[in-house]
Amino acid sequence: MTIGTIAESASTQKLTNQSGGDNTFMGKEDFLKLLISQMQHQDPLEPMKNHEFVAQLATFSNVEQLVSVNEGISNLGQIQTAAYESSAASYIGKEVEVISEKMMVNGMGTPIQTGFVLTKNADNVVVDFSNSAGDVVRSMHLGSKNMGPVDVEWNTMNNNGEQVPAGVYSMEVHAADQDGNPVQYEARVRAKVDGVSYDTGAAVLQLGDLQATVANIVGVYPSTTN
């Protein structure tokens, strides 16, 4: 086995890690085993030269440093994730704007603050609000809208001017550009955070009968309801 073979193995070979993944490069233990094996099977008539052995040790040192750096980055990520999740409790009692097409209607005429973000200008925008059965109860024609965020307030009345029952509703945006091509959007809705659960191991915000992850929050505001 030549020095070039070991150096190439240390830099390019991938081994399966303890968790069963296949994206971890050769570790220091694997490299050390390879180095010892090379020394054991070297030609006695042509033993490894001092400078060759030093080169091997230098490569091993580089591998060890890379492993240490990867472990440090992994630990830092775990610490950041823990801090991120623990901060979720601070949202309780506040209103958050989250990426979602779902919303809760209390049936008492409380307006719903919602909206969407257009990926480009749209000449014709229609917003439909549907009940849990998928029936459209209210359509709002907004005309043309520029690329970016568009705020929408639904008074929770249907197309006949009647209050819709309490429950979960969804919003769908139909937007088209001047050529009639669909315009993509990202739906958003505001809701009060009633609590936080950690049943799945991650922080989940409780928004009435709906849920959202901290990662879906795009805005935080003082609560407008008691």
Place of tokens 């209607």: 105
Q: Which residue did the predictor score with more confidence, 182 or 70?
A: 182
Q: Is the pLDDT score of 191 beyond 50?
A: yes
- Comparing 155-164, 187-196, 208-217, which segment has the lowest mean pLDDT? 208-217
Q: Which residue has the higher pLDDT, 87 or 17?
A: 87
| Spans of all domains in the chain | 3-88, 92-221
For strands 136-145 and 148-154, give the pairing. unpaired
Q: Which segments of the chain are extended strands (E)?
A: 14-15, 24-25, 95-99, 102-105, 112-118, 122-130, 136-145, 148-154, 167-176, 185-192, 195-197, 204-207, 210-213, 217-221
pLDDT tens track for 31-65: 667 667 766 666 565 555 555 655 655 665 666 67
Query: Has residue 11 got a pLDDT over 50?
Result: no
pLDDT tens figures, 114-137: 999 999 999 999 999 999 999 999
39 close to 3: Cβ distance less than 8 angstroms: no
224 pLDDT higher than 90: no
Architecture of domain 92-221: Sandwich (2.60)
* Average per-residue pLDDT for the chain: 78
Is the pTM above the cut of 0.85? no
Integer angstrom CA distances of residue 123 from 77, 128, 174, 194: 44, 17, 11, 38
**What band does 19 get if pLDDT is binned at 50, 70 and 90?**
very low
Q: Poorest-confidence range of 35-49, 114-128, 147-161, 164-178?
A: 35-49
95-111 average pLDDT score: 92
